[in-house]
A and B are shown apart, each in its own frame.
Chain A
């Protein structure tokens, strides 16, 4: 068992402004199931991207020794050829093609110059048997459930003679039965000599299948626990995942002036037609005036979906049941516009994709959500617009030569400040901030936190979604923790610790911590 199939030695990976991986060492033995755990942003995915060649050789420092040789993967094709298959959360299957076409896609069985479809079907059936999936190979992939699609994806990897299988949160979208089925399959593949690396947030399944567990934190490898020698507990893993000093990097709030409940959702259950599944189950939460409510949880817990479904994005999300009240009055929002009229504003986590209009300038982006107040008759008062943009440029210290600069040319932190300026100008009563400080530097973070404090002191309410535990603990008055589309717990700021939040986010019973 001590035979080592993969060793990643002293891997350092830098992005502009951030060190994503610092001197990481990661060793996987042949024929084991090795779990990789860590908070969001700990570097798990980056490490796997280095391995697979998504970040090609030369863009990182350190060595990859795979199957006894030092490798320099320049692309995914290179790592694939060496027998490494990575299965991502968003599956790489083509829904309109059949199962057998998908399994052999890019790896066709040929007879001369044409594809041998008969042989393909026969072999595909063989592969399906190996992954214990009982479906007709001619069925279209779109007709399969997510769990079955996972198995097809694994079959696809197996037909390419995979030696090392990497699964990135394979069970995130699966129900209990499908998850159990998938984990059993991994154990079975292990007996056939296939090594697996499993990335997961669900600690329960990790302790049940893992031979060894490596914990990453803030881009560094913390430790590797051997579960073959002794039983590793979930609490022990959590301890290594968090275990950080609370640094005093959050600005103090002077006046904590918390008033009446101003926003409430009850029994909020939401269905996603595109993914064909229920994504939020029976959510109950409330927000008081002048309060910062943190929503913690791991990737895929349903936090952004909750925010968007509240914000009236109804074509994407279907609200099956539930009630939304603002200042006690029941409301229905058909369009974000309705929500904005009622005083709610949502600032997106992905400002480049759906937050800002990058090809427009700073003043355009600041004024867009509240042009009504700048319009006289039907004409926009451009003088006023410039004055307002300048006011925010100064008060938020947005670093830009003029407010006519295209947002595209601003740094991430300044772009985020433009987002904040936009919502300040829209003057909402309830502000939903989704990952307000993701990807921006420490100084800009502090400034944005200061602004948040100022806003709640003035009576605004903030719902803050964040994957950074420190931010959640440092800024919130109250914390909701979500996991798998439900709220698993509510904590007061003074009772919250990293361990307790993480335990709820990974759904470990609170009593046990």
Chain B
């Protein structure tokens, strides 16, 4: 008797539970398959959140303070632009080891020109042109002469390291006094003149960006549905957009609570937009993915592989020049040590951001997340006072884990 009642009770309970779960079930299972299918692209977000939580706890909240978040974005600037340039190089299955010292060298050139009294509005374009020329030289060796990129840029690494110490030999570290130049990586956008204890324009821009992104997402989804392409369910779509909006507005509030939106953030944003546009909307972008996916097929489809390789190297060195400017501005000085290890940060950011080691796959938008992961590590370990030697070891391990994880997950897919 009693066992019978017990059974009935369990049955009723489980029936009730089923009813409750039914609504969530399909939603949950879709979410689960989505995560499982895209584990590769979600991994970096999970890693980023994990890093934030870890450092948040270990630094007793210091890491997550508005001031540090603001600093974090300013520090990410140079890594992000280098990584964006590197992403294209890695997609077409080359590599550029010289970006670090090209950035260091060109940053020093900028500092010297400023010291000589050149105006900022001339220094920046001159340095960017120099960067492009360096890229064309390396691209020429790789594309036309056929020297492997690894060798060309390893040599470049030595050459520009040498040039860097050469031009700073007489002076040592050069301090930059130009306020406008220093503002590039240290300044913030002005606010609209309204009395408030927060940076209003930052919040407005954050809201506008959120609306723009969600609008874009809705439009893409509509088009996809019009073409009867497979789309995620409405519930998952809404959840995704709520998360995006929350993340952007959280960042906006944090920045607004300090001094507002940094200029470097805007620079990275513009660069990101341009590269994302090129890769997704233009023929050049198509051809870059084509070369990475199958260079022979691309060639036989009429793609001029040499010219695109040349472009990729010119672009990565242009980004190195920009990175050099951002870095020199950030430190307000140029030193003979500048640029050391930047190439690892750039390559690691790209791989963490999902560029495939075998080429043909990668997104600059994800590379930015990778750059944020790398900079968060540096920043957090700096706050914790971890010795630089350990920082290298930790970064090296994270780098190799990211690549191993990438290869493993891609094999399964």
Contact = CB atoms under 8 A, between A and B. Distances in A.
Chain A bound to chain B = yes
Interface in A410-469: 422
Given A371-B283, A380-B281, A360 B289 contact: yes
Contacts of A369: 301-302
Given A340-B302, A354-B294, A368-B298, 16 more contacts: A335-B304, A336-B299, A336-B300, A337-B303, A354-B299, A359-B293, A359-B294, A360-B293, A364-B289, A364-B290, A378-B281, A378-B282, A379-B282, A380-B286, A402-B229, A404-B230
B180 interface: no
A368 B300 CA distance: 10
Contacts of A354: 294, 296-297, 299-300
A386 interface: yes
B294 A356 contact: yes
A369 B361 CA distance: 20
B360 interface: yes
B229 A337 contact: no
10 contacts: A313-B300, A346-B300, A354-B297, A355-B300, A357-B294, A364-B289, A367-B286, A378-B282, A380-B283, A382-B281
Interface string B120-147: 0000000000000000000000000000
A402 B223 CA distance: 14
B164 to A, nearest CB: 36
A100 B304 CA distance: 43
Interface in B338-397: 360-361
A263 interface: no
B227 interface: yes
B228 interface: yes
A403 to B, nearest CB: 8
A375 interface: yes
A380 B300 contact: no
Interface of B: 223, 227-230, 281-283, 286, 289-290, 293-294, 296-304, 360-361
Contact of B282 (A348, A357, A368, A380): A380
A359 B361 contact: yes
A422 B360 CA distance: 20
Interface string A306-328: 00000101000000000000000
A54 interface: no
Contacts of B302: 335-337, 340, 369
Interface size classification for chain A: 20 to 34
A383 interface: yes
Contact of A375 (B283, B290, B296): B283
A370 B229 CA distance: 24
Contacts of B293: 357-360
A400 B44 CA distance: 31
A357 B297 contact: yes
Contacts of A375: 282-283
Q: Indicate the member of A371, A378, A390, A404 with the most B CB atoms within 10 Å.
A: A371
A358 B296 CA distance: 12
Contacts of B289: 357, 360, 364
Q: Indicate the member of A353, A357, A383 with the most B CB atoms within 10 Å.
A: A357
A337 B301 CA distance: 7
B297 A356 contact: yes
B373 to A, nearest CB: 25
Nearest to B305: A335
Contact of A358 (B230, B283, B294, B301): B294
A368 B281 contact: no
B296 A353 contact: yes
B361 A364 contact: no
Contacts of B290: 357, 360, 364, 368
Q: Indicate the member of B227, B228, B283, B297 with the most A CB atoms within 10 Å.
A: B297
Contact of A359 (B223, B230, B282, B360): B360
B392 to A, nearest CB: 34
Interface string A25-63: 000000000000000000000000000000000000000
Nearest to A372: B283
Contacts of B303: 337, 368
Nearest to B228: A402
B187 to A, nearest CB: 33
B223 to A, nearest CB: 7
B298 A379 contact: no
Nearest to B294: A357
A348 B282 CA distance: 26
Interface string A363-407: 010011101100100111011001000100000000001101000
B226 to A, nearest CB: 9
A402 B360 CA distance: 21
Nearest to B283: A371
Given A360-B293, A371-B286, A386-B227, A379 B281 contact: yes
Q: Indicate the member of B227, B228, B360, B361 with the most A CB atoms within 10 Å.
A: B227
Nearest to B282: A378
The 5 closest A-B pairs by CB, nearest first: A354-B296, A357-B293, A337-B302, A369-B301, A340-B302
Nearest to A375: B283
A422 B229 CA distance: 21
A422 B297 CA distance: 12
B38 to A, nearest CB: 14
A368 B286 contact: yes
A348 B281 CA distance: 28
A378 B287 CA distance: 13
Contacts of A357: 289-290, 293-294, 297-298, 360
A251 to B, nearest CB: 28
A378 B302 CA distance: 18
Nearest to B290: A357
B58 to A, nearest CB: 40
Nearest to A339: B302
A348 B360 contact: no
B286 A364 contact: yes
A368 B230 contact: no
A84 B300 CA distance: 40
Contacts of B223: 383
Interface string A475-489: 000000000000000
A441 B361 CA distance: 32
A205 B203 CA distance: 85
A402 B361 contact: no
A379 B284 CA distance: 10
A414 to B, nearest CB: 17
A368 B294 contact: no
